[in-house]
Structure 1
C-alpha cells in the first residue's frame, strides 16, 4: 500500500527560509525551515493525507501504534527517521550515544525521576542515533570527528607564529593546550587522552577559557589577512570557521573545539556517516539526512541549551579519524545505496529518465520515499503512485520490489540489512 504523507518543516532558528521551498517547490513562508521530518518520530510524525487508508489514523505514529502488522509487516516501530535538512547557520556541536550508553542513561534518568521533557534530560529514549547526511546543495559544510593531533599542533603553531606576541610564551597564551604543541605525547598519554583532557578543560569554562577564546579569535582574524594566505593553506577553512562561529556564538568555548575537528566541505552527492561518539556540527548547506529514530543528543558547545560535560565525555570517541565519507554502491544503473555498517537503515537514491528508463529496488521492510526532482512513478505488488517534486509517501512491505519509472530523482529510506 502507498500512503501519501506530508509534514510541516521545523522552524529552528538555524534553518534557511528558502532552501527547502526551492528544493521541493513548496510555499516560501519567509520563516526558517530547518528540517522536514518524514517518519513516525513522536516529535513530529508525518501526517497521513488519506486517513481512509489508515483506519482513520491521522499520522504515521498513530497508525503504526494501532496496526503495526499492516503498517510495518513486523516489529512495532519504524527504526529510522528521514529528513530534509537546510542549515543557514551552524548547528550545535553534538554527539550521540551507543546503544549500551543510551539504555543505561535512559534507565538511570528514569530511576531518578527526571521528566522526559526536562531541559537538562540527556536521554529521551533508550536508542542510539547513528546518522548519514547526503549533500544536495553544491557545497555542504560541516565539522566531524577529531582530526589527527599533528594537524591541531600545526594549526596552533601557525597561529602562534602569526601572532608574534611577546606578552608571554606560547604555553602561557594557550594554557593546557600546550599538549597540542609538543612534538609527541608521553608513553602514558595517548593522542585520545590529550584530546579528552583539552576538551574537558575547555568545556569546564572559567576566565582562562574565556581569555583563550578571545585570543584565538583575534589571532585567527590576523592570520586570515591576505598577506598570510600562503601560510594558512590548507587550514584556511578551519580558520574561517573560527571567525564565523565567533560571529554566531561570541565567546562560546565550542569555538576552541572547532579547531580540534575535521573541517569538511561536501559537494552535491557526497555523504558522511556519523556513528555513535562522533562529535559533529553542520555549518551550512542543504542535505538529505537519515538516522535511527532517536532523540538522544549530547551537546558540546555552540548552543544556549544544556551541556552535561561528564556525560558528553563518556559518549565521545576521542580517537583521531579521517573524514568519515560514506561511499555509495551502485548495484544497477540509476540506483545508489548509502549503507553504513548498521542494520537500522539504508538510503537509496533513484534516478530515472532518458538514460535509465526504470530502476527496480526491493526495500527490506516499510519504506519512505520523497521526490526531489521531476516526476517518478513507483509501482509495487498491489499498486502504484506517481510522485511529483515535493511529494512523499509511506510504502508498506506488502508492495515488495518497487519499480521506478518516469523522469526524476527519488530518495527512499528503508530498514538496513
Structure 2
C-alpha cells in the first residue's frame, strides 16, 4: 500500500529560503524553510493527501494511533523520522542521549514536575535520537565529534599570540601524556562554565591573525575560518571555542555522516536527507540562545576522540545502496531508479519514500508514481517493492516493527 504524504516546512531561523521549495517545484514562502518532516512525530506529523483511503485520518500520527496494524506497525509509534534539512546558517552544537539515558532522564524530570514544554526541560520523551544525514547539495559542512587533542594542541600553538585566555585554554588541554577523554571533559566543562575567561574573542583574534599570515595548511585554515564565522553569528558564545575542539567535515553529494548517542555535532550549511530515531531529546552545547544544561550535557557526551564518522553505504543491488547504522530503529535506501530496473527490494518494515531527482514509480501489489519532491508512506506487503523510472528516491525503513 502506498499512501501519498506531504507537510509544511518548519521555519527555523537557520533554514534556507529556497532549497526545499526548489526541490519540490514550489514558490518559496519568502521566509526560512529549514526542515520538512516526513513521519509521525507529534511535533509535525506528515499530512495524508488521501484521507478517505484511511478512514478519514488527516495525518500519519492520527492514522497510526488509530490503526497501527493497518500501518504495518506492531504498536502505536513509528520508530523513525525522515526529513529534508536545508541549512543556510549553523545549527546549535548538540548531542543526543542513549536509550538508557533518555529513559532515566525523562522519568527523572517527570518526577520533578518539570512541564513538558518548559524551556529548561532536557528530555521530551523516553527515546534516543541517533541520526544520519546524506548530502543532496554539492557540499554539506558540519562539525562532528572530538578530534585528537594533540591536533588541537598543535593548532593552538601555531596561532597562540600570548593572550592570557589562550594560555588558560592551552593549560586546560594539558600534556601529551594526559588521557584525551579526560582532557576534553575538563576543557568543555571549563569553557561552558566560563572558567577560562574571555576565550572566544582571544581565539578569534588569534585565528584572524593566523589567517592573514597565510602559513597554515588547508585543513587548519578551514577550522579557523569556521571559528571566525561562528563567532560572527554567535558573538561571545562559548560554543565557538568548543567548536575549535571538533572534527570539521565537508561532505560531497551522496556522502553520509552517522551521529550516534553522545556525539557532539552541528550542521553548518547544506541540503540533505536526514533520518533519525523519532525523538525530541536534544542536549545543547552552545551556538544557540536556548537552554544549555552543562552538567547534563557532560553526562551524555562521548569524549573519546574519533575520526569523522562517515557512514559508507552497502551496495545491495543494481543502483541500490543502503546506509545501515548500528541501531535497528532505521536504515536508509538510496535507489537510482534507472539502474534498479525493477530489482525486488524486501523491506524489513514500514517505510517512507521521498524522491530527490526525476520521476520514480513504486510498485508492489499496487503502484504509485512520484515526481521530484513528492513522498509516500509504504505499508510492507508480501510482494517486494520495485522501483523504476528516471530519478533518485530515498526510502527510510525500520527493523523494529514488522
TM-score scaled by structure 1? 0.93
Quote the offset at 1:390 in angstroms.
1.3
Contact in 2 for aligned 1:157/1:181 (Cα 8 Å)? no
2:187 corresponds to 1:194: no
Provide the C-alpha distance between the structure 1 equivalents of 2:237 and 2:362, rounded to a whole number of angstroms: 48
Quote the offset at 1:372 in angstroms.
1.2
Among 216, 223, 230, the alignment partner of 2:210 is 223
- Aligned partner of 2:146 in structure 1 is 146
Contact in 1 for aligned 2:356/2:393 (Cα 8 Å)? yes
- Aligned partner of 2:130 in structure 1 is 130
Question: Aligned in 2, Cα 1:405/1:156: closer, same or farther, shift over 3 Å?
Answer: same
Quote the offset at 1:201 in angstroms.
0.5
2:229 corresponds to 1:236: no
Quote the offset at 1:27 in angstroms.
2.1
Quote the offset at 1:335 in angstroms.
0.3
Contact in 2 for aligned 1:174/1:212 (Cα 8 Å)? no
Contact in 2 for aligned 1:135/1:288 (Cα 8 Å)? yes
2:392 corresponds to 1:404: no
* Structure 1 segment 33-182 matched on structure 2, within 5 A: 33-160=33-160, 163=161, 165=162, 173-180=166-173, 182=175
2:232 corresponds to 1:247: yes
- Aligned partner of 1:416 in structure 2 is 399
Q: What are the ranges of 5 or more consecutive residues in structure 1 without an aligned counterpart?
A: none
Question: What is the number of residues matched between the two proteins?
Answer: 400
Among 337, 343, 347, the alignment partner of 1:363 is 347
Provide the C-alpha distance between the structure 2 equivalents of 1:181 and 1:137, rounded to a whole number of angstroms: 39
Provide the C-alpha distance between the structure 2 equivalents of 1:253 and 1:388, rounded to a whole number of angstroms: 44
Provide the C-alpha distance between the structure 2 equivalents of 1:300 and 1:177, rounded to a whole number of angstroms: 20
Provide the C-alpha distance between the structure 1 equivalents of 2:22 and 2:166, rounded to a whole number of angstroms: 47
Question: After alignment, is 364-373 or 287-296 more displaced?
Answer: 364-373
- Aligned partner of 1:204 in structure 2 is 193
Provide the C-alpha distance between the structure 2 equivalents of 1:123 and 1:58, rounded to a whole number of angstroms: 28
Provide the C-alpha distance between the structure 2 equivalents of 1:43 and 1:268, rounded to a whole number of angstroms: 29
2:5 corresponds to 1:5: yes
Question: Aligned in 2, Cα 1:356/1:400: closer, same or farther, shift over 3 Å?
Answer: closer
Contact in 1 for aligned 2:9/2:37 (Cα 8 Å)? yes
Quote the offset at 1:4 in angstroms.
0.5
Provide the C-alpha distance between the structure 1 equivalents of 2:73 and 2:340, rounded to a whole number of angstroms: 31
Provide the C-alpha distance between the structure 1 equivalents of 2:267 and 2:319, rounded to a whole number of angstroms: 28
- Aligned partner of 1:261 in structure 2 is 246
Quote the offset at 1:356 in angstroms.
4.6
2:341 corresponds to 1:352: no
TM-superposition CA deviations, 1:102-140 (whole Å, max 9, x none): 000000000011111111110000000000000111110
- Aligned partner of 1:305 in structure 2 is 290
Provide the C-alpha distance between the structure 2 equivalents of 1:356 and 1:324, rounded to a whole number of angstroms: 28
Aligned to 2:61, the other structure's residue is in SS state helix
Among 324, 328, 336, the alignment partner of 1:339 is 324
- Aligned partner of 1:324 in structure 2 is 309
Aligned to 1:269, the other structure's residue is in SS state coil
Runs of 4+ in structure 1 deviating by more than 4 angstroms, as ranges, are none
Among 362, 374, 377, the alignment partner of 1:391 is 374
- Aligned partner of 2:30 in structure 1 is 30
Contact in 2 for aligned 1:216/1:256 (Cα 8 Å)? yes
2:5 corresponds to 1:20: no
Aligned to 1:245, the other structure's residue is in SS state helix
Contact in 2 for aligned 1:359/1:403 (Cα 8 Å)? yes
TM-superposition CA deviations, 1:25-69 (whole Å, max 9, x none): 222112100000000000000001011111111000000000011
TM-score scaled by structure 2? 0.97
Provide the C-alpha distance between the structure 2 equivalents of 1:51 and 1:23, rounded to a whole number of angstroms: 25
Provide the C-alpha distance between the structure 2 equivalents of 1:261 and 1:390, rounded to a whole number of angstroms: 33
- Aligned partner of 1:373 in structure 2 is 357
RMSD value over aligned CA atoms?
A: 1.4
Q: What are the ranges of 5 or more consecutive residues in structure 2 without an aligned counterpart?
A: none
TM-superposition CA deviations, 1:361-416 (whole Å, max 9, x none): 11111110011111111001x21100011110001123641001111111100003
Aligned to 1:234, the other structure's residue is in SS state helix
